[in-house]
Structure 1
Amino acid sequence: MQTPPETLTAVILAGGQGRRMGGRNKGWVEYRGRPLIEYAIERLRPQAAQLAISSNTDIDRYRALGFPVLTDSHPDYRGPLAGIAAAFAAFPDHEILCAPVDAPELPRDLERRLRQALEAGTAPAAIAHDGERLQPLFGLLRPVLADRLDRELARGALAVGRWFRDVGALTVDFSDQPRAFANINTPEDLQPSPPGP
């Protein structure tokens, strides 16, 4: 596997409000005997030179894992793009590879495939598509987006998919591994799948 460039930082987006999980921070929800944050670290850490966690709660608990914890600069919740903005602020001039904490089977080749698409053109970002729907929180963003993101977040929360469309992000086909994007949103999602017929 190729060594990731020093200016590539992976960020686990763990700052959601977890409303459908009763307000729990989803990174610490256990799935198959392990907290979701462990799956995210295991899969994302090898794909970048360094890793950080974006969260506004359980900060000390996340820091104990040995990675920087990034908090949003806005006092009100402005969505996952605020976590990406915090990553750009903490790692100036770095590319940001992001993924949400609640997808325990996220692609192990996420960075490689997104990069192949980016390097083929001049787009500022590449995001995943699972074959059925856009998965914009699985993305690779160039630092040229940092200032624009800050300016637009200053006006309020942004719709993630729309924002990536507006900045001209490329869409990368991951329809060969749609299960990689299955996320844990509710307590029901934590239950093992029933056996097939």
Structure 2
Amino acid sequence: MSAPAREQITGLVLAGGRGSRMGGVAKGLQVLHGRPLLAHVLERLQPQVGPLLINANQELERHAQFGWPVIADNNDDYLGPLAGILAGLRACESDWLLCVPCDSPRLPRDLAARLARACTEAQADLAYAVCEGQAQPVFCLLRPHLADSAAQFLAEGGRKLERWQQMQAHCALHFDQPGDAAAFINLNSLSELHGLNPESPENPNHG
């Protein structure tokens, strides 16, 4: 079995959180180096996938200005990233869905390729990243047929994304190449956002 091609993968940017640590603002719309944070993430993700989706639960019209379909969670309770992933799985029309958060502007440029290869080699329905011993479950590639399982998990009160992932036919891929740690940086507060220095072009994953 060969790894899925780019056209077989839909990209999903998860921007549906409350943004509590940023003062309740839409995190992806905050400005980093003169552009919205979401623009940086889309720039990294778009070359790796075919169609794109944005999961957002506030300021939907502003998110739609990026030119891609915007999908909201199926409820108003902010149930966490799995609720956004479920919305993406329901909307996905390709063989795979690649999920990334909106607050990681330096995500690996080969994220899709590496996760797709891992899924193929492990014959798994889902793969997520691990970097420096820390699971990065929001960076994941998964099959749309997992939507029913995700919906049931949420309906039963489950919230922890990694726990649900480990209930599936999954694999965890360790990202330990030079530059990977910097690629998985996430910006949780406005001070982190404003303090992030411009990128160095030294490594192709985050240059």
What are the equivalent positions in structure 2 for 1:33-52 lying under 5 Å apart?
33-52=34-53
Cross-structure match for 1:186: 189
Alpha-carbon distance in 2 for matches of 1:25, 1:125? 28
Alpha-carbon distance in 1 for matches of 2:36, 2:10? 22
* Conserved 8 A contact 1:88-1:143: yes
Cross-structure match for 1:147: 148
Cross-structure match for 1:120: 121
2:150 aligned counterpart, secondary structure: helix
* Conserved 8 A contact 2:122-2:171: no
1:143: how far off?
2.1
Note closer, same or farther for the CA distance 1:25–1:170 as it changes in structure 2 (3 Å cut).
Answer: same
Alpha-carbon distance in 2 for matches of 1:106, 1:19? 22
What are the equivalent positions in structure 2 for 1:99-118 lying under 5 Å apart?
99-118=100-119
1:132: how far off?
2.9
Cross-structure match for 2:18: 17
2:6 aligned counterpart, secondary structure: coil
1:64: how far off?
1.6
Q: Deviations over 1:7-29 (max 9, x none)?
A: 42100000011111000111011
Alpha-carbon distance in 2 for matches of 1:60, 1:157? 30
1:93: how far off?
5.6
Structure 1 consecutive aligned stretches of length 4 or more whose deviation exceeds 3 Å? 191-194
1:152: how far off?
1.5
1:166: how far off?
2.1
Cross-structure match for 2:163: 162
1:191 aligned counterpart, secondary structure: helix
Note closer, same or farther for the CA distance 1:168–1:193 as it changes in structure 2 (3 Å cut).
Answer: same
* Conserved 8 A contact 2:92-2:144: no
Alpha-carbon distance in 2 for matches of 1:65, 1:175? 32
Alpha-carbon distance in 2 for matches of 1:51, 1:38? 13
1:94: how far off?
3.4
Note closer, same or farther for the CA distance 1:92–1:148 as it changes in structure 2 (3 Å cut).
Answer: farther
| 2:181 aligned partner, one-letter code | P
Alpha-carbon distance in 2 for matches of 1:22, 1:181? 23
| 1:72 aligned partner, one-letter code | D
Note closer, same or farther for the CA distance 1:193–1:55 as it changes in structure 2 (3 Å cut).
Answer: closer
Alpha-carbon distance in 1 for matches of 2:15, 2:127? 20
1:147 aligned counterpart, secondary structure: helix
1:76: how far off?
1.1
Cross-structure match for 2:73: 72
Calculate percent identity across the aligned residue pairs.
40
1:136 aligned counterpart, secondary structure: strand
| 2:41 aligned partner, one-letter code | A
Alpha-carbon distance in 2 for matches of 1:167, 1:186? 32
**TM-score when normalising by structure 2:** 0.87
**RMSD (Å), alpha carbons:** 1.7
Cross-structure match for 2:139: 138
**TM-score when normalising by structure 1:** 0.91
| 1:46 aligned partner, one-letter code | P
